[in-house]
Structure 1
């Protein structure tokens, strides 16, 4: 099992307008065993998104990477299911995107017919959709337990992306939360935090090795924090060493 990479590792470049395809080409040049990459919807130019995703899909095929996509939206709003879901599922099917990640949003009040339609849409798409704990009031342990219980109650095929860093912004501990939610985790976002600031691994407060070593090998682990380009290979190797248990 090797660590995967979210394009957040290139955050400074992305904020400066560098396309994600260019960042991923640099990642490929590291020639490290990376099983998957996750791109971020907020950093696509809407006018160039289709052409860039086509290039990314081609690169992933060449590099033997699975492709994940982080959607910067909540899956559920006060009006119901996010309007973007159908379109994003079609996008995923077109560009061989294995998984879409949303935040959960508001615990919805949906009719049985709407829930049935959502269940069918998710099942028929063949695309994994996950929800993630957020660094806000929607992302407390108690709220995530309620949200995930609601998902199970309605038999919705939604996965759960456990973000190890976001807990610090809601005054929770990732180790405690992981102990309560471990059996529901389908994707793991790895980062280390110190004083509510993302830092390199082993420079923060997170017992990250203990967390990732409790995951089954079927759960992908993604680096998801800004890393200077000269340190990225070492951070990848550090996690891979921990995962080679």
Structure 2
């Protein structure tokens, strides 16, 4: 894997953010480190208009590619969350994000009205729209994700998958088997390792858990972005260095 494929998700700096730093404050450090793909987390934004604009301007000046993480549901009570989707999409456009991800939510089926609405949202060919497998039974099971994406593709809706390697353990599923099921939809990878404490999964640094993540990564297309996406404590760049030593080819 090339370093150019690596994305830093700002959850890496969770301790700094909890101490008061904004995602804007982190941009220069990440860029100076040599990674020019950054995933911005919506839940960490405090002043949307100001921060989105500042992040966008920074990214334009330094040729940084942005991804937008939105931990919100596409479907609420079985109905497409149109107002929310419109708002999140406008935020992603203001940010200048090349990819946006949500979770599926309480999905049953895609109606004709949903198809028409999503077709208008997805007309922006410069931004990839994805859903992620999260850590819940509702949004993180492979059968639900495959059913949703299959219905999207049948109806010519270009919606793809952000595949989180670690999250499958929260729903007691196998990431390698699930990658084989979903691989045609996958446009983005979140990588973390997982270990169990008292039978409860916990995200840990690469190599400190049980996931054979290299088995998945070796089957990826050469250009797919891969995000380091787990908290890295008080010395995050040290752990990023260790992760890159495993992930990046010499």
Provide the TM-score with structure 2 as the length reference.
0.88
Q: Deviations over 1:16-62 (max 9, x none)?
A: 332111122222332x2x241001001111xx221112221222223
* Alignment of 1:75 onto 2:74: yes
Q: Give the distance between the partners of 1:111 and 1:175, measured in 2 at CA.
A: 32
Q: Give the distance between the partners of 1:130 and 1:175, measured in 2 at CA.
A: 20
Q: Give the distance between the partners of 2:63 and 2:242, measured in 1 at CA.
A: 18
Q: Give the distance between the partners of 2:124 and 2:192, measured in 1 at CA.
A: 33
* Alignment of 1:16 onto 2:19: yes
Q: Deviations over 1:193-223 (max 9, x none)?
A: 1011111110111111222221112311000
Q: Deviations over 1:169-209 (max 9, x none)?
A: 11112122112212211010011110111111101111112
Q: Give the distance between the partners of 2:211 and 2:101, measured in 1 at CA.
A: 23
> CA shift at 1:232, angstroms?
2.3
> CA shift at 1:238, angstroms?
3.5
8 Å CA contact 1:89–1:127 kept in 2: the answer is: no
Q: Give the distance between the partners of 1:100 and 1:199, measured in 2 at CA.
A: 25
Structure 1 gap segments, 5+ residues each: none
Call closer, same or farther: CA 1:173–1:236 in 2, change over 3 Å: farther
The secondary structure found in structure 1 opposite 2:122 is: helix
Provide the TM-score with structure 1 as the length reference.
0.89
Call closer, same or farther: CA 1:204–1:25 in 2, change over 3 Å: same
* 1:224 match: 229
* 1:25 match: 28
8 Å CA contact 2:56–2:94 kept in 1: the answer is: no
* 2:162 match: 161
> CA shift at 1:72, angstroms?
1.6
> CA shift at 1:108, angstroms?
4.0
8 Å CA contact 1:167–1:173 kept in 2: the answer is: yes
Call closer, same or farther: CA 1:213–1:62 in 2, change over 3 Å: farther
Q: Give the distance between the partners of 1:102 and 1:86, measured in 2 at CA.
A: 12
8 Å CA contact 2:69–2:102 kept in 1: the answer is: yes
After superposition, residues 24-103 of structure 1 pair within 5 angstroms as: 24-30=27-33, 32=34, 34-45=35-46, 48-78=47-77, 79-103=79-103
After superposition, residues 108-119 of structure 1 pair within 5 angstroms as: 108-119=108-119
